[in-house]
Amino acid sequence: MATTASRTKPVRTGLPLAREDRAERLADLFHALSDPTRIRILAALRNGEQCVCNLTGLLVAQQSRLSFHMKTLKDAGLVRDRREGRWIHYSLVPEAVEEIRIALEELEAAAKSCAASCCRT
Tens of pLDDT, residues 74-87: 999 999 999 999 99
The Cα 69–Cα 45 span in angstroms is 14
Whichever domain contains 63, its CATH number is: 1.10.10.10
Query: Model-level pTM?
Result: 0.74
Contact partners, residue 56, CB within 8 Å, separation at least 6: 62, 63, 66
pLDDT tens digits along 47-67 = 999 999 888 887 776 778 889
What is residue 121's predicted lDDT score, i.e. its pLDDT? 52
Range of the domain at 108: 21-117
**Cα angle value 16/79/100 (rounded, 5°):** 40
Domain count, the chain: 1
The model's pLDDT over 4-25, given as tens digits with 9 standing for 90+, comes to: 444 445 554 444 556 778 889 9
